[in-house]
Amino acid sequence: EAEIDYHDKLYWNSNEPKISDEEYDLLKSELRVLDPTNPRVTKVHAQVTNSAISKYQHKNPMLSLDKFYSKDLIIGWMNKISRHDKELFKIQLKLDGIASKLEDSRLSTRGDGLEGEEHTSKIPFIKFNIKENQNPQLGEIIITDSFFEKNLKERYKNSRAATVGLMSKIVVDEIKDCGLEFVDYNI
């Protein structure tokens, strides 16, 4: 628990992780085996919030997605939870940005799953890769590594840090032409 708390603080408060996402997930998996009811196993972390940004209450909880690092782990998970041999699963590559929702023309982040931050005013400055006629649209706000390398690497440590930093801006003109994209999970 203490090790997970330590790495949470490094990741969420200072954006200075000392271990990879995979190593972190292994720590949480170990805790899940030792203490399945521990709140750290199911906790959804919120982005570092800017108190000047409006809060958004999700109509339905916006939960975290499961992630795996190998084909064998995916197959093991599928075998464990499938109800029959012909059950279908949706598996996609993980995007490293900010989990977000576009619902009723309002853009919000996941936050803690019940309450996020509203970023509707930033919609004109974000490229949307979405499936039409869906409400809500769940996805990830990202900056591609290629855009980051070409335009932002002098200002930010990595593309995810750039995404978080730019989305926390209050003056929306500051994010113009910064490569922010919303990628719908259904694309």
> Considering the entire predicted model, what is its pTM?
0.70
Percent over 90 (pLDDT), the chain = 25
12 falls in which pLDDT band (50, 70, 90)?
Answer: low
**Four-residue CA torsion sign, 44, 132, 118, 16:** positive
- 40-54, 113-127, 150-164: least confident range: 40-54
- C-alpha distances in Å from residue 104, one per residue of 27, 101, 127, 134, 135: 38, 10, 17, 10, 7
Confidence of residue 125 (pLDDT cuts 50, 70, 90): very high
Q: H or E stretch including 100?
A: strand 98-103
Least confident among 84-88, 137-141, 170-174: 170-174
